[in-house]
Structure formats: structure tokens, C-alpha cells
Amino acid sequence: MLKSLTLNKTLLGLAAILVVGTLLRFWHLDTKPLWMDEVLTAIFSLGRSYDDVPTQEFFAIADLQQLFTLQSGVSCPQIARTVATESVHPPLFFCLMHGWMRWLNPSAEEWIWALRALPALLGVGAIAAVYWLNRIAFSPTAGLLSAALMAVSPFAVYLSQEARHYTLPMVLITLALVALVQMQQDMQRQQIRPWVWIGWVGVNGLALYTHYFCILALIAQVIALGGWMLGQRLPLRRMVPLGLAIAAVGLSYLPWLSTVISHFSRPETDWLIPQDPTWLTRLAPIYQTVVGWVLMVIALPLQDDSWAIALLIIVGIVLFSLWLLRQLLQGAKQQWQDASSRSALVLIAGFTLTVIAQFFAIAYGLNKDITAVPRYNFVYYPGMCALLGACLASLRPSIPSFKNRFDLPQLPSQRWAIVLVAGLLSSIFVVQGFVLQKSYNPDEIAEDILITPPLPLIVVTNYRSLQEIALGLSIALELQTHETYLTQISQTPSSATSSPIRFGFLDRRPQSGSPRHTLSHIEQPLPLPLNLWVVSPESRRQDFPPRLRLANPDSSCTLDPEEYHRLGFPYQLYRCQG
């Protein structure tokens, strides 16, 4: 009876945690504009490719609706071929997303919500998965605490609200750790449960087809379990099942192996290489990693207009982090004293530390600083969250004076509540867009472009890569939402067309010639005068010429020196007259 009551309380607690996690992840899900990487997800998941994007011509911004409409009759192998040639990612997430979009069949007003809903739902699934992990590794209390930590984690909420393939591998890595702990328990009990080992193979195989960084997670799992086995001095024959499991995962990946090799030599990740290495950039992976750990628990907005408030917030975050570190060290010491869960603690800590070590090896050995991108920490976040939950669950209050005077019993520490409140507040800031912002905001760029008085508008994006096309599309999608401005343009005497905004992508690769030359030969139907905006990633202010010409014989476009902007990349206004 008592056991049943305890189980019911645990399940109720988990249900409450899942409700909170769901609300945070679906709150304002479609209010923030799509950014570059999410546009990539949309194109592949809707069954499209970059061949569907018009380039070297001007197109009406209303034509975007056709581009971002689900294309029926597209199979997963077709999506896989497109992803293999036009990106550097494995295909499983995009195939799954295509099926999701086909099932929902969203309207033109709801497709962005639908695109982000699947990662958000998977983010909720990760909460349940980490509960399962800590329940079997440590205790139900540790399971609930780890689930609560993930539910209100600003980092987890941030990943869950992005239409990218981060929450799916997070779920799969967590499930792989669940199986890994059970495999460890099998070895301790000298038994083999085939379904556990087969499940571990299957989950890791799926993870490898979801994100390439899951290779790091697989390596870390093998090293963590193998290291524990060596530490226990288990006979070599006990390693045979692990070797067979690893071989099975490798065999499952053979169909994609040649594509992986070709992707690793592609230039899309060259942006991770420091441009001008200095002693400070060599230290960057260290402090960036620490910042990434802090963002898993707390993230507060820094005021741009007040350095004093920003400094106060930074000091507060540092003090909170030091306090939390002290609690975790105390909890880890107490958790270590529990012999029944010590092996699981070693295993999960070994996994987490091995992934972090691989991050540093890539940053310093391959000179690609993946620590500069906090979202990549999804690889080891399940392990970090499990360790946090286990350490906080093992804390006991320090009240020796009261205990000695009144003989009070030791009660579980409530210090975890402080961490959860900090996480909840931080997640609200994430949902509102105050923290963990992208390197550029399409909505701010659109506000700069839509200047007054309203005139017919051309926006040109000079591109060198498919990612820069996606960047331009994110701006175009945001411009499309400004119906009031579009109406004002269409009502101006100079506007003789129902599509007063035109967008264009001009290839700036050396083999395609000069975008400036191409611009003067592309037919465009908009009347003069008009505003011409040129978006040119990787350009400097002095790279924009003082004058440009359109195909209109009498047109002359003059650079406006007061309308140069840079929000992650530069864009410049030209005023075109007849």
C-alpha cells in the first residue's frame, strides 16, 4: 500500500513536470521569426530543394508561399538525396519532419508553428527520458529532479523552440544512456538481457542518422563503459557483447558512410575556424564551455543601455554559479558514499567528461571551435542534467546546531528549489526572446528595410553558399508579414504593380561574374523611384560601390551613407531615381 502511494506521488510529480515543460516549450512558439538554419529545415522537410529557389532574377515576395508549401509525393530516399548534396547533415530528422508536416497539413498561417511543434514535442519527450535515466541509475527522487531541471532549463527550452535537429538526438542519446546503465547492471549481475543490448544498438544507429555529433556520444559511451569494465578488472570475455554491439552499430551506418566522408571535407563548417588566431582565441574554448554550462541552468538578459545593470546581473550569475558549484560538490560527495549507485555515477560522469574532452580535441586539434556554439552542447547535456539531478537529490541540510539542541531529524534539502526558480525565470526570458538570441534578427532587419516614405522595394542578397540563400529567405519571410507597409506601397501613385516588393539572389562566386554586372541585366517591373537594399554577407562597408544600375536604361541608384546597417552581416540602401 505504501509502495503504491509512493509510486502514485512520483507519477503525479512527473506529470506536473511534463505539463510545465510542455507549456514553456509551446509558449509563443511561432512568434519569433525563422532564422537561417530553420529555413534550411523548412526547405528539406517540405520536400523542396535549392533548385526550387529562383536565383539570378527578381521574384515577387508573394511567391514565397509556393516555395514553403508542402510538396506531396516526396519520399524519404528523395529527401535523403537532397540533404546529402545540399547540406552536411544526415537525413532522418528531415524525413521525420516531412511525415509530421504531411500529417498536420498546416495552412499558410500555421506552417511555422507546425515546423517548430515537432522539436518542441521531442523536447518534452527528453524530459521523460531523463527521468527514466536517473530513476534506474539512482532513485525516483533523482529522476524527478533531473526531469524538473530539464523542464525549466533555459538551454533545453531554447533548443526545443527551434525547428532544428537537436531535441531528437537529445532524446536518443538519453535513451542510449538508459540502455548503457542497464548494460552495466547486466555485467554486475552477470546476466545479459538481449532486448537491452539490441535497444542500445538501435537507438545509437538512429542517432547517427540524426546528427553527426552523435558519433561523439557513441564514442563517449564506449569509452565510459569500457573504462568502467577495466576499472572493475572484468575478464576480457565479458567485453565480447560490447564489441558485437559496437560492430552492429557500425554495420547499420555503412549505407551512409561514403556520404559522411564527403560531408567532412565540405567547406560549410569553415566558419568555425578562427579568422585571426591570438592567445585569447586559444583560451576561448575554455571560457565558452563554462558559459555553456551556466546557460544550462540560468540565463538572464543583459541591458544594452546600462552597463551598471549588466555588471550587476553578471555578478549575480557568477555568484549563483559558484553557490551551485558548491552544492553540487557536496551532493557528489554524498552520492559517492552510496555504493549502490556509485557505478552509475562513474558511468554517466565518464560519458559527459569524454564528450567534453572530444569538444576540446576538435577545437584545438582540428582548429574548429565548436564550443563557440552553445547549442552543440546538446550532445552531453543529458549526462550533465542527470548528474545535476543526482547530486541535488543527495543533498542534506547542514543544521548541526539545531540538530544537537533539538534532536531534529535530517530532512531532504530544499536547495534544489532555488535552482528550479532560477531556471523557470530564465526560460521565461528565453520564450520572450530576451536571452539566447540569434546572431541576427530578421525582424529587426525588416524594420530597417521598411523605411518611410513607402516606395516600391527591391531586396538583393549576394550569396556564395546555400546557407546565405537561406539567410536571404529568412528576411523575405519576415518582410512578407508586414501587410500594412505592403498596403501603403501599393497605394502610392508611383506603384503600378500589385507586388511592390521584389526579391533577388545574385551569385557572387567567382565563376558567376560580378553581382553588380548581373543586377544591371535582370529585368524588373517596378517603377521608379524605388528603394534598393543590398544584403552582402562577408562584405565591408567600403565594398559597397557608390552607384549601381538597374536594367532600366535611365535608372541610377545612389548609395545612402546614412542607411548602412550591420546586424550580424551588412546591408546597404541605394535610392534609385529615373
Q: pLDDT tens digits for 53-75?
A: 998 889 988 888 889 999 988 99
Give the pLDDT of residue 165: 96
Using DSSP's 3-state secondary structure scheme, residue 437 falls into coil
% of residues, the chain, pLDDT over 70: 90
Confidence band of 47 (pLDDT split at 50, 70, 90): very high
Q: pLDDT tens digits for 398-429?
A: 545 444 444 444 444 678 899 999 999 999 99
- Grid cell, residue 287, equals 571560457
Category of 347 on φ-ψ map: left (φ > 0), alpha (ψ -120 to 50) or beta:
alpha
Map grid coordinates 505504501 to a residue.
2
How far is the C-alpha of 574 from the C-alpha of 578, rounded, in Å? 13
Strand ranges of the sheet holding 58-60, from the earlier edge strand across to the other edge: 58-60, 501-507, 457-463, 530-535, 570-577, 556-566, 547-548
How far is the C-alpha of 510 from the C-alpha of 365, rounded, in Å? 31
Look at residues 245, 256, 258, 252 and name the one whose alpha carbon lies nearest to residue 205: 252
For residue 77, say if its preceding peptide bond is cis, omega within 30 degrees of 0.
no
Beta carbons of 548 and 574 less than 8 angstroms apart: yes
Q: pLDDT tens digits for 477-510?
A: 998 887 666 666 666 655 555 568 899 999 887 7
- Tell me, what DSSP letter sits at residue 552? S
Give the pLDDT of residue 238: 81
Q: pLDDT tens digits for 150-181?
A: 999 999 999 999 999 999 999 999 999 999 99
pLDDT over 50 (residue 124): yes
Beta carbons of 437 and 21 less than 8 angstroms apart: no
**Alpha helices (H) along 414-464:** 416-431, 442-449
How far is the C-alpha of 245 from the C-alpha of 145, rounded, in Å? 31
Q: pLDDT tens digits for 217-265?
A: 999 999 999 999 999 888 878 888 999 999 999 999 999 999 999 988 8
Mean pLDDT for the chain overall: 89
Which residues in 468-505 are b (16+ Cβ under 10 Å) and which e? bbbbbbbbbbbbbebeebbebbbeeeebeeebbbbbbb
Q: pLDDT tens digits for 437-474?
A: 887 888 889 889 988 678 889 999 999 888 899 999 99
How far is the C-alpha of 238 from the C-alpha of 242, rounded, in Å? 8
Q: Kindly list the distances between the CA atom of residue 434 and the CA atoms of 299, 300, 319, 321, 499, in Å, as whole numbers in the listed order.
A: 9, 8, 21, 20, 34
Look at residues 445, 422, 447 and name the one whose alpha carbon lies nearest to residue 435: 422
DSSP string for residues in 31-98: TSPP-HHHHHHHHHHTT--GGGS--SSEEEGGGHHHHTSPPTT--HHHHHHHHHHH-SS-SHHHHHHH
Give the pLDDT of residue 475: 93
Look at residues 547, 569, 362, 473 and name the one whose alpha carbon lies nearest to residue 61: 473
Looking at residue 187, its amino acid is M
Beta carbons of 479 and 459 less than 8 angstroms apart: yes
Confidence band of 513 (pLDDT split at 50, 70, 90): low
Q: pLDDT tens digits for 528-554?
A: 889 999 999 888 999 999 999 898 777
- Grid cell, residue 346, equals 562513474
Question: Which of 274-283, 302-311, 451-460, 536-545 is predicted least confidently?
Answer: 274-283
For range 286-292, the mean pLDDT: 95
For range 26-43, the mean pLDDT: 94
| Residues contacting 219, CB < 8 A, separation 6+ | 354, 358
Q: pLDDT tens digits for 336-368?
A: 998 888 999 999 999 999 999 999 999 999 888
Beta carbons of 37 and 470 less than 8 angstroms apart: yes
Phi first, then psi, for residue 7 (nearest 5°) are -65, -40
Give the pLDDT of residue 276: 66
